[in-house]
Amino acid sequence: MRPPGAGLRRLVAAPGPGPRRIATALTSSGLGQVARGGIAGITGAAASAVAQFLLVVVVTRGFTAEQAGVFFTATALALMAAGVARLDAGNGLIYFIARARTYGYRGISGYIRAALVPSVTLAVGAAAALHPRLGPLALVLPVMVAADILLAATRGFGSMRPTVLLDGVLLPVAQLVLVAAAALAASPRWLPLGWALPYLPVLALAVACLRARLPRTPYLTGTGRDLWRYTAPRSAAGAIQAVFQRLDVVIVALLGGPVPAAVYTAATRFKVVGQLANQGLAQAAQPRLVRALANGELTLACQLYQATTIWLVLLTWPVWLGYAALAPWLLGVFGPAYGSAVPVALVLAATMMVATACGMVDVVLTAAGHTTLSLLNLIAAIIVTVTLDAVLIPAQGALGAVLGWSGGVLVKNLLPLWQLHQRYGLLPFGRHSLPALRLRTRAAA
């Protein structure tokens, strides 16, 4: 098996491919499948974002700001712990399953076991350590990790449906229903349980979906070594990414208390729209992007990158502009105590517009094999975030937290964007952007 990115480096050094080869590589069928998968991913992301938004409304309306802040901090800590324990094994599986297509998926079961065992073991240890702090939320950590890895494996086979239906629809909708039941019962102690229980059916269904796609192939020695040789640098990056996504809520709670944490969570809830939209497109494009870069098809990789970027901008920028314009009214939905967070919403909207305009830069960087470089970028982003948070939160509260988060997001996106351009000449917009709009229209039809 060639090392990650080897084909891409050879292509960059070699003369460009002829027009016929480029035309063959850029057939609309492959990109059309990405478009359809991306639309499916965005649909799931939209359903998840709406359900999560409504969940925050239910919690802020049904409980005091202090109770809501305690709940939001606990769920943020649980998601951080699960993100660390995953070790980014899911993305490692996508990489190897997508490449294994060329030789009949031999040894895939070995890769799946190699991904699951260390991650679930670490999740069990995290559950034991965090149980005094999280209670029932800690017990579900191994389930969260296993479900995420198995759903990633189904995407490696090119199927988006399990991820969309289970992670995008079933999980957030079930959480919303059970949390609403806890609110109707006026019982804050049932909130964590209502949020945690839906992970159990998601795991069971993810196992069933993967079994239906997993071919019976012989076990190959060395699969675990290959998987973790590629994934190890990305494991650290994935852990830092998980911390980066939720650290702001925890820091606000530590420095300001549960009430500012509740206000900050409510005001920044819409950032999940951009995160999930980017995730939906990345999940659809990542397997094909890995194959394109492994085979040295730089032109196809460029087309995938620019196509997904323009789709992401068109899908999310209206949301950010609308959120900035309607922030006073939207924040009032959470309750009278949350209307003061309009500046937080404005910073969030502007930052996410810049981030989405960069496209899925980190996915492209890691697909090219630069997992260590991605790790260094994330370390730089989290250093910026923590530094700004420590300086700004004591005086500015939620506004200081969002400014710290914004600084980290800009570093996390602009730094790999510069690196991709310097190494491969890739840009998020270019000659493939407008043709991608016509392709998206045909795929949607």
SS3 call for 359: coil
Q: Distance (Å, rounded) from C-alpha 361 to C-alpha 58? A: 35
Q: Distance (Å, rounded) from C-alpha 164 to C-alpha 277? A: 12
Q: How far from the centroid of its chain's Cα atoms is residue 248's Cα?
A: 16
CA-based nearest residue to 182, from 173, 174, 193, 171 = 193
In the chain, where the domains are located: 6-444
DSSP sequence for 17-72: PPHHHHHHHT-HHHHHHHHHHHHHHHHHHHHHHHHHHHHHHHHHHHS-HHHHHHHH
Profile the chain (445 residues) by mean pLDDT over runs of 10 residues: 39 35 38 56 72 91 92 93 92 82 67 92 96 90 96 86 90 96 91 95 95 72 79 80 83 86 85 65 67 74 82 84 88 83 92 89 81 86 92 88 93 92 81 63 46
CA atoms in the 13 A half-sphere facing the CB of 93: 30
Asked whether 368 and 426 are in contact (CB, 8 A), the reply is no
Q: Distance (Å, rounded) from C-alpha 205 to C-alpha 195? A: 18
Asked whether 39 and 444 are in contact (CB, 8 A), the reply is yes
pTM of the model: 0.72
